[in-house]
Amino acid sequence: MVALLDIEGTVCSISFVKDTLYPYFLEAYPSTISKIHFPISADKDELSAILSGFPELAKQSKDALQDHINYLVSNDIKDPVLKSFQGKVWKLGYEKGDLKAPIYSDAIEFLERNEDTYIYSSGSVAAQKLLFSHVEVDGQLVDLTSKLAGYFDITTSGYKQEPQSYENITKAIGVAAETIVFYSDNINEIKAAHTAGLKTRLVVRPGNEPVPESEKKPFKVISTFANE
């Protein structure tokens, strides 16, 4: 079987994303854009090339850009340009040692015994690789990227609550849909994957959004990877 894993609420706590990664980004990104020339032009540098994907009004001034970014973050909008920019800011945080990913121990053990494991997250592939290459285990940094066969995000495959996205991933991996098991804490993602023919596991962890019993009923529910 091939494993396809969500990140937030599945292999690491929701609190790491909401209480650590997002606040770090909001605090750090203003200094990151301080040297950007406005209006933003894609041919200036790598960062400008990323930010040039935002709407024209947001590219006219630093204030307009910050207003747009803050709006996207506060409303949890899965914008591909924002995700790429967040990845750049988090990269600096990981490199400085400000950020370390607290992956659940049972998830680490799962990765170590399963070769065909892929990640599918709304966060960019670059951000996914950063997270798994900066995992904190017993006070030490561990790189788990060698344990993963590949990565998918909303730019490579589509949005996570759409069945077509899972069909795209199935084609990319090159296996039958029924040989893939998708793990997520999000019931709407589970439903989309199920519609696309994948096997599913609804992951229940401390701090995750509660799922009504009536919606859980059609799916297998787990609270650990220990028996997977």
**Residue 160 is labelled as binding a ligand:** yes
Q: Nearest to residue 127, comparing CAs of 12, 1, 209?
A: 12
**Residue 121 is labelled as binding a ligand:** yes
Are the CB atoms for 108 and 124 separated by under 8 Å? Answer: no
**Residue 133 is labelled as binding a ligand:** no
Residue that is written with structure tokens 């609804």 in the block: 202
Give the bridge partners for 97, in sequence order.
none
**Residue 41 is labelled as binding a ligand:** no
Q: Which secondary-structure segment (H or E) carries 141?
A: strand 140-142
**Residue 19 is labelled as binding a ligand:** no
Q: State the burial class of residue 18 (Cβ atoms within 10 Å of its Cβ: 0-12, 13-18, 19+).
A: middle
**Residue 84 is labelled as binding a ligand:** no
Cα 226 to Cα 93, 111, 182, 184: the distances in Å are: 31, 11, 16, 15
Task: Using DSSP bridges, classify how beta strands 140-142 and 135-137 pair: parallel, antiparallel or unpaired.
Answer: antiparallel
Q: Which residues are annotated as a binding site for Mg(2+)?
A: 6, 8, 185
Q: Which residues are annotated as a binding site for substrate?
A: 121-122, 160
Q: Which residues are annotated as a binding site?
A: 6, 8, 121-122, 160, 185
